């Protein structure tokens, strides 16, 4: 594994999203980026609220409900990121005409879906 991302070294070595030395997306849809930024700022506020709830010894079930809300909001961000990844990074790799690049992308997508996007 590499850098805590959960994606194997084999896949990272051939990712289409790596034009150059850094890992960057091929393209990021500006509307999705803005929507994700807004969601993440809202989630940040929710997490601060959770911290206050814990500090104030609030009812456990209420805290758990709020945690579930944060988790669902994070899933929404992940879905947007996956949409962008499929439209741009994956499309580039799968249409590149390079078998190794396409195979690495298939592997990456399967690992993301089965391991991280349940």
Alpha helices by DSSP H, listed for 13-59, are: 30-55
Decide: helix, strand or coil at residue 85: helix
Residues 29-88 pLDDT 10s: 899 999 999 999 999 999 999 999 999 999 999 999 999 999 999 999 999 999 999 999
Element (H, E) at 68: helix 60-84
For each of the domains in the chain, give its residue range(s) and CATH number, in order of start: 9-116 (1.20.58.1000)
Cβ pair 114, 4 in contact under 8 A:
no
17 pLDDT more than 70: no
Q: CA-to-CA distance for 59 and 6, rounded, in angstroms?
A: 34
């Amino acid at each position: 594994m590499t850098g805590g991302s959960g994606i194997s070294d084999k896949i990272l070595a051939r990712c289409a999203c790596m034009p150059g030395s850094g890992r960057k997306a091929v393209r990021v849809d500006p509307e999705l980026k803005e929507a994700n930024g807004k969601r993440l700022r809202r989630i940040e506020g929710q997490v601060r609220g959770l911290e206050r709830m814990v500090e104030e010894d609030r009812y456990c079930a209420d805290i758990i409900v709020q945690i579930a809300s944060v988790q669902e909001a994070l899933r929404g961000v992940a879905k947007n990121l996956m949409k962008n990844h499929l439209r741009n990074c994956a499309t580039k790799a799968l249409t590149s005409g390079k078998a190794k690049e396409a195979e690495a992308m298939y592997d990456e997508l399967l690992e993301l879906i089965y391991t991280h996007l349940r």
